[in-house]
Amino acid sequence: MNSDSYPCPLPGGVQAHEYALSFDHGRRLRMLVVPALFDEANKLRHLTVEVMRRLDGTGIDCFLPDLPGTNESLRDLSAVELEDWRMAVEAAARHFAATHVLAIRGGGLLLPPGLPGWLHAPVKGASLLRTLLRARILASREAGVEETGEALLEHGMKHGLDLAGFTLSGEMIRQLHEAQTADDACLTSIEQDLVGGRPLWLRAEPDHDPAQADALAAIVTMGCKA
C-alpha cells in the first residue's frame, strides 16, 4: 500500500495534485475505488481499504483517490461542487489507467464514463442530503434551536450550509439534491444483503467488519475474473 497522487483539474484550466491510496504493481486489472461521501466516508474508510487489500491479494491493482476538499486535499470544501468531484474521479481513472470501477454508496454519483464495475449499496444524492439535514436538525435541537428540513434546504440552495461538520456551497447542495446514480448496463449493484451484516454507515462511530470486506471483495473478484 502506497501514497500516490493524480493530476486534478481546477477551475480556469489549472491543474493541482490530489493524493490517492494505491496498491499498484502494474497488473492488467486496475480498479478505481470511488469512496463514500461526507460522514459515510469516515465510517466506511476502514472497510474500503480492507476491500482494496483483499483485491490486491487476488491480483487486482487498486486506487482510492482523495476528492478535492477532503482528507489531505488543500482545496476548500466550501468552494467545491459535485461536478468538481466528478471531474476529479474521471481524471484519476485516466491517470491510473483504470479498467474497472468500484463505487461505495454515494461514490456512485461520481462515476467516470465507460468503465465496467460495481456499485456497493448505491444511494441518491437527495437521500444523502436528507441524512445531513437530519444531523443538523438534531444538533440544533440539542442546542435549543428549532429548524426544519424544508427551510434549511431552501436556505442552503441559495446560500450554502454547514451540515454535519461539512461547509457546503449552494451549488454543491443543488447538484447533490438532483444527483442520481448512473444507469449503465456495465455497472452491477451489490446490495447490502449480499454482503451481509449491519451496514457500517448506520453505526454511530466508524467501525469495521472483516466478514463484510471478505464478501464484497469476493463478489468483485469473481466479476473481474469471469
Q: Which domains does the chain have, with CATH numbers?
A: 2-123+181-224 (3.40.50.1820), 125-180 (no CATH)
Higher pLDDT, 164 or 189: 189
pLDDT bin (cut points 50, 70, 90) of residue 54 is very high
- Would you state the pLDDT for residue 186? 84
pLDDT bin (cut points 50, 70, 90) of residue 224 is confident
Instruction: Quote the mean pLDDT of the chain.
Output: 92
Tell which residue, 209, 156, 181, has the closest CA to residue 44.
209
Judge contact between 22 and 63, C-beta under 8 A: yes
**161-163 and 166-168 as β-strands: parallel, antiparallel, unpaired?**
antiparallel
Grid cell of 162 as nine digits = 454547514
Given a cut of 80, whether residue 12 has pLDDT beyond it is no
Average of pLDDT values for 173-183? 90
Task: Classify residue 116 as exposed, middle or buried by CB count within 10 Å of its CB (0-12, 13-18, 19+).
Answer: middle
- Would you state the pLDDT for residue 160? 93
Given a cut of 90, whether residue 2 has pLDDT beyond it is no
- Would you state the pLDDT for residue 206? 86
- Would you state the pLDDT for residue 148? 84
